[in-house]
Amino acid sequence: MAILTGIHEVIGNTPIVELSRLTKGLTGRLLAKLEYLNPGFSKKDRAALQIINEAEGSGELSPGQTVVELTSGNMGTGLAIVCAVKGYPFVAVMSKGNSMERGRMMKALGAEVILVDQAPGSLPGLVSGEDLQLVEEVAQKITSERNAFRADQFLRRGNVHSHEYGTGLEIWEQTGGKIDVFLDLVGSGGTFTGCARTLKARGTSIRCYVVEPASAPYLAGKPIINPNHKIQGGGYSMDLPFLEEGLIDGYLQVSDDDAKAAARDLARKEGIFAGFSTGANIAAALRLLRTTEQGSTIVVTVNDSGLKYLSTDLFI
């Protein structure tokens, strides 16, 4: 293997493993794309790199210009890494409701981290759409004041492209096209839309499911019982510009407890140490294998590392 010019060149081309221990006794296969093996320990490294590359190519981002982004921690970590090696100052704006490990990691990578107070009634560790709106207001203010480039993962098409041309294509090639189902807990919608586009373009019978917290099934059009769920990085109960209805074959809801239990089982039985959103993906996939998708091959992404949740109750 050739010597690389920087850590950003390590991003992508993550392996897929079969979770045969979790599916023991079930018909079908559950395959996991190990996105937590990216250098920032999450799938958001891909979006960070693609957004910066596309902005450089279009001239929207100038040499030495400050980059600003709203983040739950993973996108910010990816941007901190990419900006470090490419020479851009980076400012991460994050809710105080996110786990503290994320902010500390971004600071270690050279980012300026600005923490925003949560909305009245919100609880630490539980980030709602209302919390995110407060973070958005601060991010907009800083972008304007510093004449910065906003690496907006909710609006920049590089987010979708990173998974359309990267993750989704890798899944297709690594499985030899032998995939029946793809699902993902939706945050910005970039992973779901990018992967679903690529997979459905190659296998028209592939079903793609959106996963949401059981207490906040906004995208499914169901009542929001409690927006303050524990599944960080998704389920924000807000409209998502990237999400394409024509790609969605169904909606799955996962409770906080089921997401936690699945993440713990994934660690204990498969040796894969991942976070809340991955737990939600695993719980949803196992439910499908037990019910409507018996005998199917299901692919999920392992979105980030459990190391980012040691201050939460995920692994207590």
Q: Is 44 a catalytic residue?
A: yes
Of 72, 128, 277, 305, the catalytic one is: 277
Report the pLDDT value the prediction gives residue 73, as an integer from 0 to 100. 85
Distance CA 105, CA 40 (A): 9
The reply to whether 36 and 53 lie within a common domain is: no
Q: What is the structure's pLDDT at 85?
A: 97
Scanning the chain, the segments in alpha helix (DSSP H) are: 44-58, 74-86, 100-108, 129-145, 158-162, 168-174, 190-202, 256-270, 276-290
> Is residue 206 domain-shared with residue 247, that is, in the same domain?
yes
Amino acid at the residue 115: L
- Residue 284: the pLDDT is 98
The two three-digit tokens of residue 228, written as one number: 């303050």
96 is catalytic: no
39, 99: one domain: no
For residues 212 and 293, state if they share a domain. yes
Same domain membership, residue 284 and residue 222: yes
Among the candidates 96, 127, 150, a domain finishes at 150
156: in domain:
no
Neighbours of 144 (CB within 10 A): 11
pLDDT at residue 108 in the model = 96
Question: What is the span of the domain harbouring residue 263?
Answer: 7-43+165-309
> Facing residues of 210 across strands?
184, 251
Distance CA 8, CA 314 (A): 29
Domain CATH code at residue 91 = 3.40.50.1100
pLDDT at 226 (0 to 100): 87
CA distance 109 to 191: 24
For residues 33 and 50, state if they share a domain.
no
Q: Supply the pLDDT for residue 98.
A: 82
- Same domain membership, residue 116 and residue 99: yes
**Residue 212, beta-bridge partner list:** 253
Cβ–Cβ under 8 Å, residues 233 and 72: yes
d(CA 172, CA 179): 8
For residue 233, what are its two tokens? 């990085």
Q: Phi, psi (5° rounding) for residue 279?
A: -60, -40
**pLDDT, tens digit only, all 316 positions of the chain:** 799 999 999 999 999 999 999 999 999 999 999 999 999 999 999 999 999 999 999 999 999 999 999 988 899 999 999 999 999 999 999 998 887 888 899 999 999 999 999 988 887 777 777 888 999 999 999 999 999 999 999 999 999 999 999 999 999 999 999 999 999 999 999 999 999 999 999 999 999 999 999 999 999 999 999 888 888 888 888 899 999 999 999 999 999 999 999 999 999 999 999 999 999 999 999 999 999 999 999 999 999 999 988 888 899 7
- Asked if 48 and 121 sit in the same domain, the reply is yes
For residue 169, how many other CB atoms are within 10 A of its CB? 17
Tell the burial category of 294 from Cβ atoms under 10 Å away from its Cβ (0-12, 13-18, 19+).
Answer: exposed
* Within a domain: 194: yes
Q: Kindly name the residue from 33, 43, 44, 86 that is annotated as catalytic.
A: 44
User: Do 38 and 179 lie in a common domain?
Assistant: yes
Q: Are residues 215 and 257 in the same domain?
A: yes
SS3 label, residue 294:
coil
